[in-house]
Amino acid sequence: MDNANEGSECMSTINTAGNPPNEPITQMDFARAGKITPQMRTVAEHEGRDPGYIRERVARGSIAIPANIRHIERGLTPRGVGEGLSTKVNVNLGISGDKADAAEEWKKVGIAVNRGADAIMDLSNSGKTRAFRQQVIDECPLMVGTVPMYDAIGYMEKPLVELTAEDLLEVLRVHAEDGVDFVTVHAGINRSVVKTFKETGRLMNIVSRGGSLLFGWMEVTGNENPFYEFYDEVLKICHEYDVTISLGDSCRPGCLYDANDAMETAEMIELGKLTKRAWDAGVQVMVEGPGHMAIDEIAANIKLQKRLCHNAPFYVLGPLVTDIGVGYDHITAAIGGAISASAGADFLCYVTPAEHLCLPDAHDVLEGLMATKIAAHAADIAKGVPGARDADNRMAQARRKLDWEEMWKYALDPQTARERYEASPAATKGTCTMCGKMCAVRTVNKVLEGTTIDLDSEH
């Protein structure tokens, strides 16, 4: 514990241009200097933890607080991801080339903010995306993540194969300057990992969008992955603005058959090395994971990742526990998410019913977010996160009393719950139309109160 440092308040909104060379900039810098930032205090309060607990783990990298210094200035509500903290949930959205509807994407932003997401990833991949990204950062208090590789072709106005390492680094810098809190950087898919892929093969090949673009670029140009070759330059940019690197899972399995195969494992080894290099540079790290994976393989995958990547926060997409749940993949992902988070994953990327089918609409986003929030909360109960069961216990007390207004307070989605209840009014006060007068809770309450049980013969 670091109670002696609790009074060491440090502002993280720093003008880096005039900063002395050894002055702390990132949350990791401050933590290693023994200083507790306002962002660490906010995370501690949100999690019910001592600020020293947060500082200690940020210093060693097992907790990340993605908080770009530019976004802090614009009203970011910081959240911690990692060891001993509640499982966080991310919502993906963004403008697609086939369906470029910014108004619809803003509906999704509103759902993410109002229904309790912790982060948004703007995965816009068509045309000039900077204005939308900047507006999200300016107006959204949630952590914001991006994948600069998606933006590179549109931003640079070049075909993929004509992009240079300098182009990719420039796009990364623009995202950092705009205030992005975490960026997915696909640095782990180097020529060595590609060699493993070609030697061992896969049923689904490469399903990561960013990973496939870099694979294609490397194959056509014959060059090494620029994010791997010039990783030190990536770290300098991220350190300057305190952008957390989310090390992309270019080789994540896209089907059960490919889970935990040689290619995924080869990349995971590389990601562990890149994690250490980032920490040495004072840059915070999260590591991304699967994907698709059978239930009985998930816990082992999480443990292996935590071992190889030195207990860095782990960010997973599901994983989906079957390949045939098309149209219901928010459910298949929620099952995998609950298992992975209970086994040690720290951050769940939502999956919607539209996965594998189309760009999700606003209703799909709501369905995916709530399924993932349920998975995250169930996992927090299983792994003993402080206070995780409190709302469940209060919900049980409210149900025992048939106090519907109190129930809405503890529901993960009170708006939907209230709407469903009120759309089907019960004839008997305090009950719902499932059981009516035969409500078990009502019956037992009446017996214990010494009140007559008024069941009609027609029931």
pTM of the entire predicted model: 0.93
Same structural domain for residues 118 and 231?
yes
Smallest CA-to-CA distance from 250 within 299, 284, 298, 216 is with 216
- Cα–Cα distance measured from residue 20 to residue 29, given in angstroms and rounded to the nearest whole number: 13
Same structural domain for residues 12 and 122?
no
Same structural domain for residues 264 and 205?
yes
- Classified as helix, coil or strand, 348 is strand
In a domain, 296, yes or no: yes
Contact 285, 315 (CB under 8 A): no
Query: With 0-12 CB in 10 A as exposed, 13-18 as middle and 19+ as buried, what is 7?
Result: exposed
- Which CATH number belongs to the domain containing residue 268 in this structure? 3.20.20.540
pLDDT of residue 331: 98
CA neighbours closer than 13 Å in the CB half-sphere of residue 380: 26
What are the tens digits of pLDDT across the range 159-207? 999 999 999 999 999 999 999 999 999 999 999 999 999 999 999 999 9
pLDDT of residue 16: 41
In a domain, 314, yes or no: yes
What are the tens digits of pLDDT across the range 238-262? 999 999 999 999 999 999 999 999 9
Same structural domain for residues 161 and 282?
yes
- Classified as helix, coil or strand, 185 is strand
Same structural domain for residues 213 and 353?
yes
The neighbouring-strand residues paired with 66 are none
pLDDT of residue 452: 82
What are the tens digits of pLDDT across the range 66-100? 999 999 999 999 999 999 999 999 999 998 878 87
In a domain, 286, yes or no: yes
pLDDT of residue 354: 97
Same structural domain for residues 7 and 147?
no
- Look up residue 62 and give its two tokens: 């097992």
- Cα–Cα distance measured from residue 4 to residue 35, given in angstroms and rounded to the nearest whole number: 10
Same structural domain for residues 261 and 222?
yes
pLDDT of residue 136: 96
In a domain, 118, yes or no: yes
Positions of the chain with pLDDT lower than 70, given as ranges: 1-21, 456-459
Using the 3D structure, point to which of 330, 356, 382 is the last residue of a domain: 382
pLDDT of residue 456: 65
Range(s) of the domain holding residue 28? 3-60
Same structural domain for residues 179 and 301?
yes
In a domain, 416, yes or no: no
DSSP string for residues in 300-325: HHHHHHHHHTTT--EEEE--BS-S--
Q: How many CB atoms are located within 10 Å of the residue 400 CB?
A: 11
In a domain, 339, yes or no: yes
Same structural domain for residues 304 and 202?
yes
Using the 3D structure, point to which of 366, 382, 398 is the last residue of a domain: 382
In a domain, 78, yes or no: no
Same structural domain for residues 96 and 29?
no
Same structural domain for residues 245 and 205?
yes
Using the 3D structure, point to which of 359, 382, 405 is the last residue of a domain: 382
pLDDT of residue 5: 43
Please state the domain count of the chain.
2
In a domain, 450, yes or no: no
Same structural domain for residues 287 and 357?
yes
